[in-house]
Amino acid sequence: MIRVDGVGKAYDGIPVLHDVHFSVESGECFGIIGPNGSGKSTLLKLLSGVESPDAGHIWLDGRPIEAHSRKERARRIAVLQQEPLPAVGFTVRDVVEMGRFPFQNWLGEEREDAAQLIDAIIQMLGLSDLQHRTLEWLSGGEKQRVALAKAMAQQPRLLLLDEPTTYLDIGYQVQLMDMVRAWQRKEGVTVIAVLHDLNLASLYCDRLLLLQKGRPCRIGTPREIVRADVIREVYGTQPIVIDHPVRQSPQILLQSGSE
């Protein structure tokens, strides 16, 4: 699906990413984790094609990502940001319909009517009662559901998540990630997620890439990455790691540094 070969990036001469290598298979949920400033969001910008690497190459469906036109990339890749949608006077349905832009001509028309698809997505995400409400009347969690609905309307093959749960309470965090996982399984979508919460990353991702100071530190399953010795080495804190009682994935308990 996507392959990253020796990618590097610098801003104003200051290196942010160095020699990053990995590949993600179709239908996989791949997490990118690491401390603040480790280059996670920069890497996601490169994967989306918004920015270009200074070194190395990114391949999408067997072709260099820059060989795909902007509209072609928009038909294949959708991005869900950490910031909820701004309150700009559009209704929920207006925003979801914006996801169809890559498939429209210059008159804003599609060959086939997408109304049925939009209706199904709105119903799937529990937005039916909100679809005619403007964004300024929605909570942060509701806005993030609308942003996901817009991404789903793009019908992408690759969904990029840029810390989408950062400003959500724990209920909305789980709800959003469950919705993403259900959609991924139903449609075979590939997901690459930058996640700040290591417990969420362990619960929802098949494999994890751990970045440290812009370099790949480790790559593997959550059980291989979310370990007390690895977290201590990279994050500088000593956690307690236990198995989730239901999912059996590793989960972190923090402890005070003074004890």
pLDDT per residue as tens digits for the range 17-71? 999 999 999 999 999 999 998 999 999 999 998 899 999 999 998 899 988 888 8
**Stronger pLDDT, 248 or 167, i.e. the higher one:** 248
- Residue 110, domain member (yes or no): no
Confidence class for position 254, pLDDT limits 50, 70, 90: confident
Q: Which two tokens stand for residue 97?
A: 């319909």
- Residue 135, domain member (yes or no): no
- Residue 137, domain member (yes or no): no
Residue 69 domain boundaries? 2-88+155-253
Q: Which of these, 147, 127, 37, 40, lies nearest to 87 by C-alpha position?
A: 147
Contact 192, 224 (CB under 8 A): no
CATH of the domain at 217: 3.40.50.300
In one-letter notation, the amino acid at residue 2 is: I
- Residue 93, domain member (yes or no): no
- Residue 55, domain member (yes or no): yes
Confidence class for position 87, pLDDT limits 50, 70, 90: low
- Residue 128, domain member (yes or no): no
What's the mean pLDDT in 212-231? 95
- pLDDT score at 139: 87
Q: CA 39 to CA 14: how far, in whole Å?
A: 12
- Could you give the percent of the chain with pLDDT greater than 90? 66
**200-220: pLDDT as tens digits:** 999 999 999 999 999 999 999
Question: What does the chain come to in residues?
Answer: 259
- Within 8 A by CB and 6+ apart from 241, the residues are 226, 227, 228, 231, 250, 251, 252, 253
Contact 56, 20 (CB under 8 A): yes
**Stronger pLDDT, 200 or 84, i.e. the higher one:** 200
Contact 185, 28 (CB under 8 A): no
- Residue 194, domain member (yes or no): yes
Count of domains forming the chain? 1
Confidence class for position 84, pLDDT limits 50, 70, 90: low
- Residue 129, domain member (yes or no): no
Contact 176, 127 (CB under 8 A): no
Q: Give a three-class secondary structure readout of 4-59.
A: EEEEEEEECCEEEEEEEEEEECCCCEEEEECCCCCCHHHHHHHHHCCCCCCEEEEE
The string over 49-78, giving b where at least 16 C-beta atoms fall within 10 Å of a residue's C-beta and e elsewhere, is: beeebeebebebeeeebeebeeebbbbbbb
